[in-house]
A = this chain, B = another copy of it.
């Protein structure tokens, strides 16, 4: 008998029939003798509708009132799912974020969970009930409804699992798990059966569609095993857990590609101490995430600085950079939007050398030029021309033998 937290996203509860299907999954786990907590999102489309209502009245919307409005989507789903289960003869009860309670900080719209009190959930589990909790919502110290930001339901689920010391947090989704590469690009991409939290975080660009990054960080911090699996097939999916020996033997777990990158170069920056802070300070203040940063060697006291941001942030970042560049006396600012980032990821890299050079060779063989390189302990990523994205992924998937059934 285990304690299982199951999380279902908006497409999994998109209509009445789908909610019934979710109920059968939760019931099956319950019937097998497990204690089951279900965390659900709003029905697909509902949150967008509510957000549109808010924007039509006030843009940007008042954060407190926005949370009051958009948190209702999940509230509808929990009540409906409880009814679907009751009809099947399973005792079930829905609990709002304020009833659990799920305590968050005071930052409306993107609140962070501070503490989940497990007592009420545990009492209901003990009474043999399936407990249903809305994702995405919490309550602050003043008793106001808060929301965790889009995709926050994953984080809710992991946080609930951590608070209850659950045996597993199952993330149900419309794909079968995490793959060695995007199956739409690589025909023999393989479902990964086990992967470490760190690898999952590095596979963000692929995983973000499936798992919210914050939830993986949370799972790693509290050591909550995640099981990413399909709502529709019932097959085993991908387990995301802490590293073990077996994982260390896998040199490369997967290949990812992120097309949502843009490159900014500042030419002939006077190379003085503090210059990087002058440039990246204002960018950070504008809440823009910088991914890779490369600074070339200094010649004549000048250097070139290149970095990447997500494409959606490009316009705003550029404005800031141009202002700063003028102030510090840089020569010019260039941008390149038609780029992509490909990466090979694997825990085993720590103990294997030659991964980077193998990657560079494979790309070179196809005539793909590498514009920037960045490495971590378990990842090598390269910025390339965007038009080569799919080709690069296929080439790397082959080069590291990911399609064959290596363990």
Contact = CB atoms under 8 A, between A and B. Distances in A.
- How many copies of the shown chain assemble into the complex? 2
Interface string A7-29: 00000000010011000000000
Interface stretch (A83-91, A301-309, A338-346, A382-390): A83-91
Contact of A57 (B19, B56, B71, B75): B19
A337 interface: no
A72 B76 contact: yes
A53 interface: yes
A44 to B, nearest CB: 14
Interface string A70-101: 01100110111011101100000110101100
A73 to B, nearest CB: 8
A204 interface: no
B68 A54 contact: no
B57 A84 contact: yes
A143 interface: yes
Contacts of A78: 68
A54 B69 contact: no
B80 A54 contact: yes
Given A78-B68, A99-B143, A87 B57 contact: yes
A contact face: mostly helix, strand, loop, or mixed: helix
Identify the interface centre among A65, A69, A84, A87: most chain B CB within 10 Å of its CB: A65
B53 A65 contact: no
A62 interface: yes
A149 interface: no
Contact of A16 (B19, B53, B71): B53
Contacts of A71: 75
A5 to B, nearest CB: 20
16 contacts: A16-B53, A16-B57, A58-B84, A61-B83, A64-B93, A65-B79, A65-B94, A68-B75, A68-B78, A68-B79, A68-B96, A69-B79, A72-B72, A75-B75, A96-B145, A99-B144
